[in-house]
Amino acid sequence: MNRSYYGWLAGSTLSVLGDTALFFALGWAATGIGAHVAALVLTGFTLPRAVLLLLGGVLGDRIGPRRLLLACTAIVGTCCLVLAVAVGLRGVSAGLLLATSVVVGTVDAFALPAAGVLPRLFVSDEQLPRAMALRTSATQLITLAGGPLSGLLVATVGLVGALMLDGLTFAVQFVVLLALRPPYDVTPPRDRPSVIRDAVDGLRVAVGDPVLRTILAVVALVAAFVLPVTSLCVPLLARSHGWAVGQAGLVVAANVAGGLLVTILVGRFGTFDRAELTGGFGCLLAALGIAGLALAPSVPAAVGAALIQGVGIGLFTSHLAPLFVRSTPRSHLTRLQSLLSLAQTVPLIGSTNLLATLPVRHALALAAGATTLAGLGLLRGYRVNSIAKVG
């Protein structure tokens, strides 16, 4: 891989660290005011992102992913520094916390699709799986280390320090991205139809391509029932068994470690040739881990089950994410990436509330069943495509 990709990866990873510290600081400050404020701040981040993702995809294809990411980086970095000054002068308030979350969520809706496709602008299609695995590995490492580091930062310098750190990391990312010239950059089209027509055209491409259509459907199902396992079901399971908060954190860390192990190996050796087959097997392995969590009688058993789940999801994401990007027409890169982000965001809203109404073991059983269906769907799609190629 060329050096420019490693340069962008370093700047991008640094901004992830800043974001991790900021989100921890926002949550800590909001819960200090009240649970209703914390819920409002969380909604202020997720709602603008869900509403504006398609618009972010359209804009990215119109002006180019790199240009859009440069603009987003400059905006959110400046806003973080301005908000740091405001909090320093006026103190922490619900209004400032909500304003921060809305700003970050809004800009994230435009930056997320562009950042998702940027590896394709730096590396060839053959190197794309390794490049994306390296990015995922770096993000997961930051996730593992970010919690303790964020707690230390907030305890030392508070919300003002977290905002300043995030602003500085975005400034570094902006300088790095400005200095780099992606060798496979795309040229924005000259003719620009209406935003609605562009968005509809992205939907048409996604629905019309069997590979893109299958991946979007499977990702929506997996995101809806796998993501709540660590964020919702593991804490509930820990409380039902009387485990300490540190033991619950160990289970979550095992899940992240399983995925990290896979992405490191993919980053070093690449992916298997049969992406859909491997992704389907990964879903079945993740379903086995989730079922193991439901039956785990002790913390070590839960850690082992979470590790299996993490390995399975690592196989799934590390093989299907590059396949999705490679299968996307270069004229629709950020539009299709925004659809992929929506597929992971919108179903999660309903599934989280559904799982929260069930006993935790039943919720985990439902999540395992849905993940099994996703895996069987991928295996069936691979079999059908194989027969079609032979015919």
Task: Concatenate the DSSP letters of all residues of 316-345 into one string.
Answer: HHHHHHHHHHHHS-GGGHHHHHHHHHHHHH
Average pLDDT over residues 47-62: 83
Whether the per-residue pLDDT at 287 is higher than 90: the answer is: yes
Average pLDDT over residues 93-108: 87
Whether the per-residue pLDDT at 204 is higher than 70: the answer is: yes
Higher pLDDT, 195 or 212: 212
* pLDDT the model gives residue 382: 58
Residues 144 and 247 in one domain: no
* pLDDT the model gives residue 390: 37
Amino acid at 241: H
Task: Report the share of the chain in percent with pLDDT over 70.
Answer: 91
The answer to whether the CB of 309 falls within 8 A of the CB of 282 is no
Q: Which residues contact 237 (CB under 8 A, 6 or more apart)?
A: 243, 248, 251, 293, 296, 302, 360, 364
Residues 308 and 163 in one domain: no
Amino acid at 230: T
Residue 45 belongs to domain with CATH number: 1.20.1250.20
Distance from CA of residue 293 to its chain's centroid? 23
* pLDDT the model gives residue 354: 84
Residues 180 and 260 in one domain: no
Q: Helix or strand or coil: residue 244?
A: coil
Band (pLDDT 50/70/90 cuts) for residue 233 is: confident
Residues 258 and 345 in one domain: yes
Band (pLDDT 50/70/90 cuts) for residue 337 is: confident
Q: What CA–CA distance (Å, rounded) separates 152 from 32?
A: 17
Residues 118 and 220 in one domain: no
Average pLDDT over residues 164-176: 89
Residues 90 and 18 in one domain: yes
* pLDDT the model gives residue 269: 80
Q: Which residues contact 353 (CB under 8 A, 6 or more apart)?
A: none
Residues 102 and 20 in one domain: yes
Q: What CA–CA distance (Å, rounded) separates 118 from 8?
A: 9
* pLDDT the model gives residue 293: 95
Answer with the one of 145, 176, 192 that is the final residue of a domain: 192
Number of structural domains found in the chain:
2
Answer with the one of 146, 172, 192 that is the final residue of a domain: 192
The answer to whether the CB of 142 falls within 8 A of the CB of 9 is no
Residues 219 and 157 in one domain: no
Domain that holds residue 284: 196-390
Q: What CA–CA distance (Å, rounded) separates 186 from 20?
A: 30
Residues 204 and 55 in one domain: no
